[in-house]
Structure 1
Amino acid sequence: MSLPEAGAIRQQLLAPDNPRFSKLAAIIQNQRPDILMLCEFDHPGNGGDDGALADFCHRYLGVAQHDQQPIDYPYRYCPPTNTGLASEYDLDGDGEVTLPNDAHGFGEHHGHFGFVILSRFPIVLDSVRSWQHLLWQSLPDNQMPVGYYSEAAVSTLRLSSKNHLLVPVKVGDEVLHLICAHPTPPVFDGDEKRNARRNHDELKLLQAIIDDAAYLVDDNGHQGGLKADSKFVVLGDLNADRQDGDGMKSAISELLFHPRIYRSVASGRMTPKSLGGRFLRPWQARKGRASEWTHISGLRLDYVLPSANLNVLQSGVFWPDKKDALRHLITDERGRERPQAGSDHRMVSVDIAL
């Protein structure tokens, strides 16, 4: 739900009959997640809702779509983002500072490609932590390309292409911590592999938050990350597949095999799966299992990774097969799986019991 013009998504949401938004809402209504992260949802770059998220909740989620029941999310969070936030310095070396290539995160306007969080349970906003401002060069053993950026750019370029967040949600007597991020895709670069390297390091930052790394300092000056006994879930389009695609495989592998991550969901018998993915015929040969794909290019990019101390019941990927009555929610009018039909990604879910 992103467009190159600021405010354009909100204008589209003012009409209650956008067929693409209706399908997206129907999928959410069918799956009925208690907590949901939506990636690439335009909103003000400094955070907050310009009305787009409220309109989506009211005009689409709050109204029956494709015979699904309405759903209400009383708690919502639109965090600030680095996408479309212009750097002080020329990043791409063309001699001028222009969007989208000279932003801290790729975007045509500040807030382009941001992400939002919806919840049926209270979000503890006063305790949200972010690492939006953390400099790329501050990450130990970072993979920043040598010689590509100017010294001035290196001294100011942030690591997170959107934001890295730690969001507490109060569920009864429990606090569930959401670790949210949407790293840059490891493509659209040159021989310097700046995007592949940045994706790798954004994933390393997720690990550092889980590890409560001493070098971490959040945007409010607080040290460390997540405490050792915390219950958490990593959420996001991580733009990384352990077996396929163009990214550096080590960081996503380390995250999936992290001792604090629920191993069976990350890389075992309980990985989120679908029936519909097996009908996809990606144009490139793939080594990964089609049942685990979450993107129409034939990749597992989207993750819900619960901590090892949680009780996991089941998991899934919303990708209906050809005999499923809901198949039309992911296809166009000719039955083709196209991004324009709704999304090029599929919803990933994990059910946990608290």
Structure 2
Amino acid sequence: MSAPEAGKILKQTVSSDDARLTRLAAIIRHVRPDVLMLCEFDHPGDGGDDGALENFCRNYLENPEQKQDAIFYPYRYCPPTNTGLLSPCDLDGDGELTLPGDGLGFGEHHGHFGFVILSCYPIAESQIRSWQHLLWKDFPNNLIPEDYYSEQARTVLRLSSKNHVVVPVEVDQQTVHLVCCHPTPPVFDGDEKRNARRNHDELKLIAEIIDGAPHLVDDKGQPGGLDSQAKFVVMGDLNADMQDGDGMKSAIRELLLHRKINRLVSAGPQTPKSLGGRFHIPWQQRRGRATEWTHISGLRLDYVLPSADLQVENAGVFWPDKKDPLRSLITDEKGRCRPQAGSDHRLVWVDIKF
């Protein structure tokens, strides 16, 4: 739900007759997640809702169609983002300050490609933490390319391409911390591999947040990451696959095999799977399991990773089989899996028992 023009998504959500948004809403109403992260949902770059998220909830999610019940999310969070935030100095070396090339995160306008969180459970907004302002050069053992960015650019370039946030959700008198981010895709690079390197370090930042690394300082000046006893769920389009794709595999492998992550879900028998993915033929050969793909390119990019102390009952990827009547929610009028039909990604879900 992103567009190159600021405010376009707001206009698209005013009415309830957009076919693509209707499909996306039908998927959400079918899966019925209690807590949901939507990646690439345009909203104001400084955070908050310009009305697009309220419109989407009211006109699509709360509007029952196709024999589905409405779903209500009374608690919502639209974090600030680095996407489309113009850098004060030239980042791409072309001598001009223009978007998207000189954005602190890639975007045509501030708020482009942001993410939002919807919840049936209360969000402890006063306890939300973020690492939006952490400079890439200040991240320990960073992989920032040495000869690509000017010294001036290195003093302003942030690590998080959107934002890294910890959002506490109160569930049945317990607190679960959502660790949400959307790292840059490791593509569109030159020999310097700046995006692959940034993706790698954004994934490392997730690991250090859940490790409670003492060197971390959040945007409010609070040191460290999560408390050692904190229950959490890592959520997001991480733009990384442990086996395939253009990214650097070490960071996503270390995250999926992290001692604090539920191994059954991250890399074991309870990994989210679908029936429909196995029939999809991507544009190039892949080594990974087709049942675990979450993207039409044949990659596992999207993750819901509970902490090891959370009990997982079930998990899946919404990618219906060819004979499933819900298949039409991810295909165009000709039955093809195209991004224009709804999304090039698939919804990942995990059921947790408290």
- TM-score under structure 2 normalisation? 1.00
Q: How far did residue 67 of structure 1 move?
A: 2.4
Identity of aligned residues (%): 69
Distance (whole Å) between structure 1 residues aligned to residue 45 and residue 160 of structure 2 = 14
How far the C-alpha of 1:66 sits from its partner, in A, is 2.6
Q: Note the 1:102-117 alignment, pairs <5 A.
A: 102-117=102-117
Q: Which residue is 2:352 aligned to?
A: 352
Per the alignment, residue 171 of structure 2 pairs with 171
2:69 is the alignment partner of 1:81: no
1:246 paired residue number: 246
The AA in structure 2 aligned to 1:120 is: C
Whether 2:55 is the aligned partner of 1:64: answer no
Deviation string, structure 1 residues 87-125 (Cα, Å, up to 9, x no partner):
111111100110001001000000000000000000000
Q: How does 1:16-55 map to 2 (within 5 A)?
A: 16-55=16-55
Measure how far apart 1:64 and its partner are.
Answer: 1.4
Deviation at 1:15, TM superposition (A): 1.7
Q: Does 1:217 align with 2:252?
A: no
Equivalent residues in 2 for 1:1-354, closer than 5 Å: 1-354=1-354
The answer on whether the counterparts of 1:42 and 1:111 sit within 8 Å (CA) in structure 2 is yes
Could you tell me how far apart the structure 1 residues matched to 2:94 and 2:67 are? 51
1:10 CA displacement: 0.5
SS in 2 for 1:291: helix
Given residue 40 of structure 2, which amino acid in structure 1 is its aligned partner?
Answer: E
- Partner secondary structure for residue 83 of structure 2: coil
Residue 326 of structure 1 aligns to a residue whose secondary structure is: helix
**2:243 partner SS:** coil
* Amino acid in the other structure paired with 1:215: H
Which secondary structure state, in structure 1, belongs to the residue aligned with residue 44 of structure 2? coil
Q: Deviations over 1:217-254 (max 9, x none)?
A: 00000000001111000000000000000000000000
Give the TM-score normalised by structure 1. Answer: 1.00
For the 8 Å contact 1:23–1:66, the answer to whether it is kept is no
Report the 3-state secondary structure (helix = DSSP H, G, I; strand = E; otherwise coil) of the residue aligned with 2:221: coil
Provide, for residues 285-311 of structure 1, a one-character-per-residue CA deviation record: whole Å limited to 9, x for no partner. 100000000000000000000000001
Structure 1's consecutive aligned runs of 4 or more residues displaced over 2 angstroms after TM superposition are: none
In structure 1, distance between residues paired with 2:16 and 2:329: 17
How far residue 257 of structure 1 moved from its aligned partner, in angstroms, is 0.3
| Structure 2 SS opposite 1:153 | helix
Tell me by how many angstroms 1:189 deviates.
1.2
Please list the CA deviations of residues 130-155 of structure 1 after superposition, one character each: whole Å capped at 9, or x if unmatched. 00000001111100001100000001
Question: What letter matches 1:286 in structure 2?
Answer: R
Structure 1 counterpart SS, 2:36: strand
For 1:66 and 1:177, how far apart are their aligned partners in 2?
34
Backbone CA RMSD of aligned residues: 0.5
Contact 1:235 1:305 in 2 (8 A): yes
Pairwise CA distance, 1:65: 2.9
1:267-297 Cα distance to aligned partner (Å, 9 max, x none): 0000000000011101111000000000000
Separation in 2 of the partners of 1:212 and 1:271?
A: 25
